[in-house]
Amino acid sequence: MTRLVDVALFLLGTYLSLRGIAACYRVLDVWYTIRTGYPRVLRGLLGWGGATVAIAALLGDHHRKAFLSGLVAYLLFYLSLYVLRSLFLRKPASME
């Protein structure tokens, strides 16, 4: 049963990491209308960040490790995509 809970918390950590990254990109997405869109941007950042911190604070040490592992694993996966992109994608041929 404990293994199942750890897997569920790992998956929850990956989901909240994904949502946190998406909330950070929202700043760029609505920059053209930031004067009127900033409350939504702030709600997203504080909501997903606050949910992540609250869950991490409420969990016991053993379960917190699984949750934080999910957060870090997805963040590292996301950042590794930038490295892999430069390895597999070439620059377009010049038009000369």
User: To which H or E segment does residue 27 belong?
Assistant: helix 2-29
Which pair of structure tokens corresponds to residue 48? 């997903």
At 36 the pLDDT is 82
How many other C-beta atoms can be found within 10 angstroms of the C-beta atom of residue 95?
4
Per-residue model confidence as pLDDT tens for the chain (96 residues): 789 999 999 999 999 999 999 998 888 888 787 788 888 888 889 999 999 999 999 998 889 999 999 999 999 999 999 888 877 777 766 776
The pTM is what? 0.81
Contact 48, 55 (CB under 8 A): no
